[in-house]
Structures are given as C-alpha cells and as structure tokens.
C-alpha cells in the first residue's frame, strides 16, 4: 500500500477541441509524461460527425487524432511507454480504432488499442421517441425524430480504467464526459473504487483542469499579458497523487503561465452548481478546493469532495431546426455606427420584400450587432461615436432559400450603401443548418458498454448509482462585509478579481475569483443576481425581468459562480449571436463597479 500511496502520475492535456493545434503532442512527449489525454468532442461536434458518418460509413471520428497524433508520434509514444486516452471516436469509435491499428501495423509497433462503445443511441431513435423524454433543463417536448442528427449518452471513466487494466496502450472512446479521459488513468493507476467518492471527485477535477489544454496555462486569462509568448504556449501537465491532490504545471521553456488565477479560472469554466457538478462516476463538490502557488508556473490543488454517482447518464441529442446565415461587414469614417445600422436595417427591408413575393414567411429570428459601438454592453455602453465598426447581420428561417435571399441582398446593397463600407471576404456566405441541443436522462441500466481490445470483447456494467438531490448538500454561509468606517469608492471588478465565462447549452456561467481573499465580501455584496441580470438583460430571453440567475459561493478558492439561464440565443450553432458561447461574458462583468473603502483602493496596484 505504501507504494500506491507514494505513487504519482504525470498526465498531459494535449487537446481541448476538435481542430486544436498539433503542437501539444511533441511538446508534452519531450517534457516526459505517463499519459496523454485528448478531448475532441462537444455537442455540436457530435452533430457534425454524425452528418459525416451518414454520408460515409467509415467517417464520423476525429481524423486528426490519426493524422496529427499517431502517424507522426506513434514510435515515440511506444518507445517512452506513454499511454494514450482520447474521445476521438466521435460517433464512429470502431473506425477510429481500425485506423489506429492500421498505423500501428504500418510502423511495426506492438501497441494494444481498446475501443469503448455504448454511448451512441441513434439506432434506438424510434424507441426513444416513443418514450418521448422531456428536456431536462427546460421541460421542452421531444423533437421530431426525423430531424435528429445524433444521440449520445455521456459515459464515465471506469470503462477506460478497465481497458487499461486489460493492457491497452491506446484507449479510444466515443462520447464520454470530458474529464473521464484523465479520471480513467487515475482509477487504473491508484486502484480507486466506485465508492471512493472524494478521490473520484478529485481525479475529475484534475481532468476538468486539463481538458481545455492551454486555458489552464494562460489562454483566455484575465491578466492576458502575463501569458507572454502565446505562440509557444505550454500545454498543462497534471502531476496527480494517490490522495487526489495534484499540481498543474507546463513544460519548461514554453510560453504561457500557470498561476492561481489561471487554474482558478479554469476550475470555474463551464460549470453550474460547483457543489453539484454531476458526472457519471461521482457528483463533485469543488467549493472547498484550495489553489496555491507552490513555485514558478506550478500550482497545487487540494482534493475535492464527492458524493455517490447519479443513477442516470446525461444524454445529449442534436436535431436540425431550419437554417441560419449571416456575415460581417465593416464601416469606417464619421457616423460609422449609424451608417452600419442603416445598412443592416435596409438589408432586411429588401430581403423581407422578396420573402413576401415568394410566400416564404418572415425570418424566425434576426440579429444585428454593431461591434465597436459596444453592442455587447447593452445599457452600459460607453462609446457614443466610434469611427470604425464591424456589423454582424444574421437571421434564421425554416427554408435555406430564405437565408440565401438575405445573403444575396446583403451583397446587393453594396452600391447603395452609406459611405465607408468595406470588408475582407472570399466567396459569399452560405446557409447552414441550425442544430439544437436536447438533453435528457437515460437510466444507467439501459446502457450496455462494450470494450474491444484488438478483437477481445468485454461487456462492462457501470455502478448503478443513486438519485441525487442538490438540496441535501450543506451550503457555506455567505461572506459577510467587515465593519466599514470612512469613505467608500467605486472600482471596476477587474481591479479586484479574475473572471472566466463559458456555455452550458443555452446557459452561460461566469466564475469570479477574488485576487485577495479579503476582497471577496465586497465583491459578493456588489454582484447580486439583480445587478448581473441588468448587465446581461439585453441577451436574456425575455429581458432583465425574466432573468433566472444562480449564485454560488466557493470559499476554498474565494470565488463566486453565476449561472445565467436562456442567455445565448439557443447556444452553439442554434444561435445567431456574435458570442454564441458566452466566452466574453466574463469580460463584460469585469466592468461592474464594486464599492470598497477608500483606504483599500489606495493600496490597489
């Protein structure tokens, strides 16, 4: 047991999305790791892969895992004994596995490939439609089954651990939760069991910090200038201990930075309730996690707390709902914003006239955003007369032809426009499908998971889990303001905090981390659900009065997490917003004023 307790493993986070840079794999191999983990999938990625698979039965997986990872680096991977775990299988893990095995044969290597399946439920579409589950967040009715593109349950880490225990060197999955590729390695190496809830939550947190690659090492960071040379940014390495604690660092000689701020921001990225982060293997509570700088570009993360896993798999279905299209044009010179607005308004006048003549009906949704005139800031905009702007104009319609009309008239108005129109473009934009996300729960007993290791088939049964009620969790007391005497002054939130935002379907989260623990009470008092709703009311379906905003306290890292409902215009490629994934919402919130004692303000750098 001493050997297991003292054991550590080094895991490199080598991919955060399908289409990531190819620089991570050689960089992390040179740094020395035990595992490389790759996260390629998102809900929209699954729908794209599903369409590709429908056209070509051999397609539907992340081909760059084969071409950019295995082909150039398989020999080094084999020589160093590095294990590979990737959800590169998409909707076709079997074909991805066969492609990997072909590379191994061509290069004369002795590596075992495991393929995990069971997540893809598209073949059961008719039966699922008969059951007609409702959307788990909104209660919406089940969509038309003929429009469904993909259905995938989010599997967990224990099948990955089993594949490793059977001797697999490369493990390829379909849709699993992003953090499972890391947690699977931890379960295998440390012998964690299904009942080790705190350890599983800690390993999941390590995976959550690694799953977005350089977002933990200075990418998308509030203090972005501290990241230095991002052209050579270092990808994250998690050194995990058997007790669930770990450190985050990056390869020496690379750009970026690893700080309390970068790691804290990533911990809060794309989560909802931080005390009920639900995964197939465990329900995680990150509220008491402590994040500490322990050296240059080295941050220590304490273990998390966990609860028994749920008895269902979250299942995500994507389906088509008409078409969307749009483009960007720029204007510069005097009155640039007013010129851009007039141009966009008249594009819709022209297009609507043609729609009526063709009996096509109105656009179901339109969007005009004048970037440069602070259109993202709503009532809090401060720029009144910019001299250069970019106009984004877009719409949705049930018919692709109607989107084509908009795009043609947008171009056709070019000679009748106010002066200052410009832009860099190639071919005219084209209509594209609107893909919506529908999430529901599938009982674990209804899913059969299979592991194929070079022809050896293993059927895997997951832990049954149990029903979970977030209301049963003890919540920390709200931070209290200290006794205040003397003058108070207003400072922008960015002087006191870091912030990171992201999407959860049609919801957005914004994590706010105090730069100094003593400042959190002032931040907590200033940032109320009502004040946050006012900042984002122009984005929220129904406006400020309809806002549904959760506010959660994380005392361990001196942070707050906000979860804003119905704020992304549908999210993903269902949205026609400039920021359909809320990536910049943290930047908007950082302008929020916070009242602090004047004596404290004088000490701010």
**CA dist list (Å): 171 to 97, 114, 217, 319, 453:** 9, 5, 26, 29, 9
pLDDT category of residue 605 using cuts at 50, 70 and 90: low
Model confidence at 236: pLDDT above 70: yes
Percent of the chain whose pLDDT exceeds 90: 93
Instruction: State the Cα–Cα distance between residues 585 and 558, nearest whole angstrom.
Output: 20
Mean pLDDT of 553-572: 96
pLDDT on residue 302: 98
Model confidence at 112: pLDDT above 80: yes
For the chain, list the domains and their CATH numbers: 2-119+154-309 (no CATH), 326-424 (3.30.70), 476-603 (no CATH)
Mean pLDDT of 595-605: 90
Strand order, beta sheet including 298-301: 291-295, 298-301, 246-249, 237-241, 8-15, 35-38, 83-86, 170-173, 113-117, 449-453, 456-460
pLDDT category of residue 1 using cuts at 50, 70 and 90: very low
Q: Per-residue pLDDT tens for 261-277?
A: 999 999 999 999 999 99
Q: Per-residue pLDDT tens for 191-203?
A: 999 999 999 999 9
Q: Of the ranges 200-209, 367-376, 419-428, which one carries the lowest mean pLDDT score?
A: 419-428
Under 8 Å between Cβ of 47 and 149: yes
pLDDT on residue 3: 52
Mean pLDDT of 473-493: 93
Give residues with Cβ within 8 angstroms of 216, minimum separation 6. Answer: 13, 209, 210, 236, 248, 258, 262, 263, 266
Q: Does residue 542 or residue 427 have the better pLDDT?
A: 542
Mean pLDDT of 397-414: 96
Terminal alpha carbon distance of the chain: 49
């Amino acid at each position: 047991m001493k050997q297991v307790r003292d054991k550590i493993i080094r895991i490199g986070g080598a991919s955060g999305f399908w289409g990531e840079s190819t620089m991570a794999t050689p960089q992390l191999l040179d740094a020395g790791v035990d595992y490389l983990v790759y996260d390629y999938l998102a809900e929209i990625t699954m729908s794209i892969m599903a369409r590709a698979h429908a056209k070509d039965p051999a397609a539907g997986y992340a081909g760059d895992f084969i071409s950019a990872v295995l082909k150039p680096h398989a020999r080094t991977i084999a020589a160093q004994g590095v294990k590979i775990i990737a959800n590169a299988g998409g909707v076709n893990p079997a074909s991805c596995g066969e492609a990997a095995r072909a590379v191994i044969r061509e290069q004369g290597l002795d590596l075992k490939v495991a393929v995990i399946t069971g997540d893809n439920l598209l073949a059961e579409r008719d039966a699922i439609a008969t059951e007609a589950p409702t959307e788990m967040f909104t209660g919406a009715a089940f969509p038309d089954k003929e429009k469904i593109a993909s259905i995938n349950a989010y599997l967990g880490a224990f099948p990955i651990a089993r594949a490793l225990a059977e001797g697999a060197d490369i493990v390829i999955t379909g849709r699993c939760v992003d953090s499972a590729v890391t947690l699977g390695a931890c379960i295998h190496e440390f012998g964690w069991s299904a009942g080790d809830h705190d350890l599983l939550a800690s390993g999941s947190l390590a995976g959550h910090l690694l799953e977005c690659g350089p977002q933990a090492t200075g990418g998308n960071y509030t203090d972005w200038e501290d990241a230095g040379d991002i052209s050579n940014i270092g990808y994250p390495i998690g050194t995990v201990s058997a007790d669930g604690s770990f450190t985050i660092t990056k390869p020496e000689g690379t750009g970026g930075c690893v700080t309390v701020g970068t790691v804290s921001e990533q911990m809060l990225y794309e989560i909802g309730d931080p005390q009920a982060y639900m995964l197939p293997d465990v329900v995680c509570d990150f509220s008491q996690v402590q994040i500490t700088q322990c050296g240059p570009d080295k941050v220590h993360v304490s273990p998390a707390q966990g609860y028994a896993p749920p008895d269902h798999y979250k299942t995500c279905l994507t389906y088509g709902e008409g078409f969307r299209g749009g483009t960007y044009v720029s204007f510069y010179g005097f009155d640039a914003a007013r010129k851009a607005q007039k141009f966009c308004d008249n594009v819709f006048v022209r297009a609507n006239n043609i729609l009526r003549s063709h009996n096509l009906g109105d656009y179901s949704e339109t969007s005009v955003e004048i970037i440069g005139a602070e259109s993202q800031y709503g009532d809090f905009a401060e720029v009144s007369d910019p001299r250069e702007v970019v106009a984004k104009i877009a719409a949705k319609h049930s018919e692709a032809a109607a989107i084509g009309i908009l795009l043609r008239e947008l171009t056709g108005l070019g000679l009748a426009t106010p002066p200052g129109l410009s832009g860099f473009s190639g071919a005219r934009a084209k209509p594209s499908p609107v893909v919506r996300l529908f999430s529901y729960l599938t009982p674990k007993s209804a899913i059969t998971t299979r592991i194929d290791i070079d022809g050896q088939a293993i059927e895997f049964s997951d832990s049954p889990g149990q029903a979970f009620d977030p209301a049963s969790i003890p919540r920390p007391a709200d931070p209290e303001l200290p006794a205040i005497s003397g003058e108070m002054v207003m400072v922008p939130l960015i002087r006191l905090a870091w912030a990171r935002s992201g999407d959860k379907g049609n919801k957005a989260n914004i994590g706010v981390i105090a730069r100094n623990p003593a400042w959190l009470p002032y931040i907590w008092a200033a940032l109320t659900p009502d004040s946050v709703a006012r900042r984002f009311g122009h984005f929220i379906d129904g406006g400020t009065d309809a806002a549904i905003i959760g506010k959660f306290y994380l005392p361990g890292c001196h942070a707050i997490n906000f979860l804003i409902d119905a704020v992304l215009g549908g999210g993903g490629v269902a949205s026609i917003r400039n920021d359909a994934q809320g990536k910049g919402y943290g930047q908007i919130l950082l302008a929020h004023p916070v009242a602090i004692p004047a004596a404290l303000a004088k000490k701010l750098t």
